[in-house]
Structure 1
Amino acid sequence: MSELTKRILILLCLIFITSPSNAKTLTFAVVPQQSAKKMAQKWQPLIDYLSKYTGHTIEFRTAKDIPTFEANVSAGLYDIAYMNPYHFVVFNDSVGYRSLAHQRDKKIRGLIVVHQDSPVQSLADLNGAEIAFPAPAAFAATIITSAHLRKQGIAFIPRYVKSHDSVYLSVQRNFFKAGGGILRTLNISPDSVKSDLRVLWESKGYTPHAIATHPKMAEVDRQAILNALIALSNDSSKASILSRIGFSGFVASSDSDWDDVRALGIASLSRPHL
């Protein structure tokens, strides 16, 4: 055996020994609150961090719109998914997705926004108006805001425009009198759009979006991902990764954390458009 062959064999052995035998490829899907390009730009640094920390290859996923995302989660296509509170309640029950973490020190609130120069000063001024929403099953932006309007006896025509960004842009351009959203997506919208909008109404707070895992995911892999999320949350040198998605950090969660959403009874009244 030549010296070169020996060296090649030694190198191959070292690669085999040092390569993680349990490395996997996992998908991490994020509900499409913005365009796919913007979502990837904001979330990819977090995905890269999780891949490096866990030793797994984690691939970013989203969908062209919220109904498509719902259909994919319903089919169990994602290993990990960041989904709204309503989605989690539904898919925890129907598919078995298990909660892993949620945003730290955060409650999700629905907003109704109008143009800064709009004459609308109260919800009553929206009676009979067309109002923009991201999708029928967007929890805070659609379900909570719509429920409050109906409770107040305000008639309106819902128009679904596929994303939070589209809601804000359509109100800013005066295509609609008002739109439903949430504070986080409003805060990270372009200044040119955000500066032209005014928050007309804000709901009370609910447990925020869940990071949930497929029911077949091994507990050791769930724990590895959770450890990575907690480590990131406690590492000030990596704060920019979290700030890109508008988070301060993550905390571990249990399925019962979303009992406040279950108490609304909405999961038993309707299902996402699949």
Structure 2
Amino acid sequence: MRWLAKFLLLGLLVNTPAFAVNTKALTFAVVPQQSAKKLAENWQPLIDYITKSTGFEVNFKTAKDIPTFEANLAEGKYDIAYMNPYHFVVFNDSVGYRALARQRDKKLQGLIVVPKDSSVKTLDDLSGSEVAFPAPAAFAATIITSAHLRMKNIAFVPRYVNSHDSVYLAVQRGFFDAGGGIVRTLEGLPTNIKKELRVLWKSKGYTPHALATHPKMSPSDRQAILNALLALSNDSSNHWILQGIGFNGFTASQDSDWNDVRALGIASLSRPHL
């Protein structure tokens, strides 16, 4: 009977929490600036790295378009979310999402592109044109670019096509005279598309997209994820993971880092008026 007692004791030990595998499940959402397929390909290696480093089960999420992503943020559906600066200041205030990290040594710039061979040479040439944008609340690609056009008293008709890639394709194919985007997504285009586009105008720099966590996430879980991001940023053997998302590394962040965006006075708007 002694062997049976040992067997039962071993079974109890193996099934105690001290021996359990960490199976905490978290969602990691990425703003749908590009197709879901491309986002998954680019971001999954990072998510796998975080999973391996923390022991958490981290699952990639995105949405069919930016407005749906916004609605999900408003409902607090994501544990971790990579969101644009406008989204962050809005959902930091309304839901309580907290800044964790951002791209290191980076400022976000909006830009306006036209077909390479377009007769449009200056912003004034866009007067009366249809201009493509990803979504009404896309910070640099829509809010900053369209605000600059209005400041210059250039009349235009906004058309929303759901993603940055859709903007570039629509302009490249001649469906619209111009389109709003950002440097990172433009640089991420296939060469055969990018070479057919010309940057007409580029904005000044703003604090870039935030990697933020749900307000209910514990400080210890936040720290574990941040540790993984900072470790990856200093891990030369896995630099390819960062290259896949167009980053050179992460830096720890706090909510006040986005005060330059708050100073624009757009955080109180439920929707930018375009």
Q: Distance in 1 between matches of 2:12 and 2:190?
A: 50
For residue 266 of structure 1, give the secondary structure of its aligned residue in structure 2.
coil
Q: Distance in 2 between matches of 1:128 and 1:217?
A: 48
Q: Does the 8 A contact of 1:133 with 1:161 survive in 2?
A: yes
Query: How far did 1:268 drift?
Result: 1.9
Say whether the 8 Å CA contact 1:110–1:202 is kept in structure 2: yes
Deviations 1:158-212 (A, max 9, x none): 0000000000000010100100000000001111111101100000000000000
Identity %: 72
C-alpha distance after superposition, 1:20-75 (max 9, x if no partner): 4x541000000000011111010000001001101100000000000000000000
State yes or no: 1:185 paired with 2:214: no
Inter-partner Cα distance in structure 1 for 2:272 and 2:25: 28
Residue 269 of structure 1 corresponds to which residue in structure 2? 269
2:20 alignment partner AA: S
Match of 2:74 in 1: 74
Contact 1:70–1:272 (8 Å) recurs in 2: no
Aligned to 2:124: 124
Q: Distance in 2 between matches of 1:166 and 1:180?
A: 11
2:110 corresponding residue in structure 1: 110
Secondary structure at the residue paired with 1:264? Answer: coil
TM score, norm. by length of structure 2? 0.94
Contact 1:67 1:272 (C-alpha < 8 Å) held by counterparts? no
The code of the aligned residue for 2:248 comes to S
Describe the SS at the equivalent of 2:267: helix
Q: In structure 2, list runs of 5 or more residues that go unmatched.
A: none
Cα deviation for residue 135 of structure 1 reads: 0.2
Mapped partners of 1:3, 1:109: distance in 2: 70
Change (3 A) 1:30 1:49: same
Over 3 Å counting, the alpha-carbon distance change for 1:198 and 1:4 in structure 2 is: farther
Question: Is the Cα contact below 8 Å between 2:266 and 2:272 reproduced in 1?
Answer: no
Contact 1:133 1:159 survives alignment (8 Å): yes
RMSD (CA atoms): 2.0
Q: Under a length normalisation based on structure 1, what TM-score does the superposition of the two structures give?
A: 0.94
Equivalence for 2:27: 27
Match of 1:202 in 2: 202
CA positional deviation for 1:10: 4.6
Contact 1:90-1:271 at 8 Å conserved across structures = no
Gaps of 5+ in 1: none
Structure 1 stretches of 4+ with a deviation exceeding 6 A read 1-9
Q: Which residue of 1 is the match for residue 59 of structure 2? A: 59
Distance 2:25 2:72 in 1: 18
| Distance in 1, Cα, partners of 2:38 & 2:7 | 46
Change (3 A) 1:24 1:196: same
- The amino acid across from 2:77 in the alignment is L
